[in-house]
């Protein structure tokens, strides 16, 4: 009986694949599928370094917006006080104007009772401007001295009241503009911080650990730079003390011959003890705030932003500083970083969006950024290039 089975094809079988050509195609497909499986959406995500830079930029932008918010808030507060004062003044002047009008009315009533000059006085009260009526009717010659004084006072009060009303209107418009700026700055800060928080929340645990390691490395480098600055300052101060001692010895040895040539130069470099005492008070205050949270727009006592802390610290020492960084930078004498002394203000970035209080040895106390606390840190915390200037408050 003939077999109905089909004959098997000749050739070698490999793992169920009947021909070498099919085997090659299958292996290629597997490789492609493997690559496709490994190509997850994470490949399109920014690198950790890019995230770190973006977050830092957002915090700096938020800091800049915070200073604009502070300035707008201060302007709004001052403008509101000015408006309130003007409105009170307008109310007082309006009352005086009403009193003057009543006095004129009493004159009109008296003239009506006596039957004298009724039309003229009535016309005067109904006129848009008393002065216009006088120019037309020469009533001035008919009024007594007291009546003339009352009319003059009425005209003056009317003019001054109108002027103050215009000032109050303009001030209200300025207040509205300041309030708009305040809302805009507040919205900008909130958006920047929300974006930064969102970026950080998307990091994996491993990425957060790597980010912390990067931050630790930056802190170590900042500490090294601070120690280097401290060493330079110590050497400079020692040399300065030695120079002053030599100058004092020369002055003593030359006292008999009147030699005082070196005393003037040594005096110019002697630290101001009065300013030093104030700086100590400012630092003591700032140190007592360590551990309190950074809150944008805050000036204490429970929380601070950067300029709010420096302002409060120097206020504790009896020195009034402006509210915002770009005004504080003009509130003293600019010195080099190498000549920084405890109590000086250290400003950062080209937009002056951050400030800290120098405490010596390359260190400062500052309110860093949202989510952080007032702390002691190297002035090189964000690199030497981030330092804008150092200012010694007057």
Q: Is there a catalytic annotation at residue 321?
A: no
Between CA 204 and CA 86 the distance in angstroms is 58
- Give me the catalytic one of 72, 306, 321, 364: 306
Orientation angle between helical segments 118-126 and 48-114, nearest 10 degrees: 170
CA 60 to chain centre: 11
DSSP run (H or E) holding 346: strand 345-348
Q: Is there a catalytic annotation at residue 4?
A: no
Tell me the backbone φ, ψ of residue 26, rounded to 5 degrees: -65, -45
Are 75 and 178 within 8 A, CB to CB?
A: yes
Are 390 and 337 within 8 A, CB to CB?
A: yes
Task: Check the CA dihedral 355-361-362-366 and report its sign.
Answer: negative
Between CA 33 and CA 39 the distance in angstroms is 10
- Give me the catalytic one of 60, 68, 354, 392: 354
Task: Check the CA dihedral 83-298-314-379 and report its sign.
Answer: negative
Q: Which two tokens stand for residue 294?
A: 């950074």
Residue-wise DSSP of 190-230: HHHHHHHHHHHHTS-HHHHHHHHHHHHHHHHHHHHHHHHHH
Q: Which two tokens stand for residue 277?
A: 């005492």
- Give me the catalytic one of 366, 369, 388, 392: 366
Between CA 388 and CA 345 the distance in angstroms is 11
Between CA 162 and CA 169 the distance in angstroms is 11
How long is the chain? 394
Catalytic residue ranges: 306, 354, 366
């Amino acid at each position: 009986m003939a077999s109905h089975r089909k004959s098997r094809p000749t050739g070698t079988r490999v793992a169920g694949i009947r021909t070498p050509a099919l085997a090659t195609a299958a292996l290629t497909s597997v490789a492609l599928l493997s690559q496709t499986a490994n190509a997850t959406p994470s490949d399109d995500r920014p690198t950790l370094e890019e995230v770190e830079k973006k977050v830092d930029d957002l915090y700096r932008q938020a800091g800049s917006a915070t200073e604009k918010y502070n300035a707008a808030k201060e302007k709004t507060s001052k403008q509101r006080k000015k408006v309130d004062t003007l409105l009170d003044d307008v109310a007082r002047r309006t009352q005086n104007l009403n009193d003057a009008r009543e006095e004129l009315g009493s004159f009109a009533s008296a003239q009506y009772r006596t039957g004298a000059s009724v039309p003229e006085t009535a016309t005067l009260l109904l006129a848009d401007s008393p002065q216009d009526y006088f120019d037309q009717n020469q009533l001035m010659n008919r009024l007594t001295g007291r009546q003339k004084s009352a009319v003059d006072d009425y005209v003056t009060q009317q003019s001054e009241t109108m002027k103050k009303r215009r000032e109050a209107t303009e001030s209200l418009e300025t207040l509205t503009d300041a309030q708009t700026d305040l809302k805009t700055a507040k919205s900008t800060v909130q958006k920047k911080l929300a974006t930064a928080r969102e970026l950080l929340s998307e990091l994996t645990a491993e990425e957060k650990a790597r980010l912390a390691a990067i931050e630790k490395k930056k802190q170590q480098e900042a500490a090294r730079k601070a120690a280097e600055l401290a060493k330079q300052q110590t050497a400079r101060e020692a040399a300065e003390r030695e120079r002053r001692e030599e100058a004092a010895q020369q002055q003593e040895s030359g006292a008999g011959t009147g030699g005082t040539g070196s005393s003037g130069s040594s005096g110019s470099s002697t630290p101001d003890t009065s300013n030093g005492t104030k700086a100590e008070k400012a630092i003591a205050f700032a140190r007592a705030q360590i551990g309190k949270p950074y809150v944008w727009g805050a000036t204490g006592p429970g929380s601070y932003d950067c300029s709010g802390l420096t302002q409060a610290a120097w206020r504790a020492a009896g020195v009034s500083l402006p509210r915002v960084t770009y005004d504080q930078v003009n509130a003293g004498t600019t010195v080099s970083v190498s000549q920084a002394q405890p109590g000086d203000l250290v400003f950062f970035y080209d937009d002056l969006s951050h400030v800290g209080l120098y405490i010596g040895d390359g260190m400062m106390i500052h309110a860093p950024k949202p989510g952080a606390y007032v702390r002691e840190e190297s002035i090189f915390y964000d690199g030497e290039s981030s330092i804008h200037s150092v200012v010694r408050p007057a």
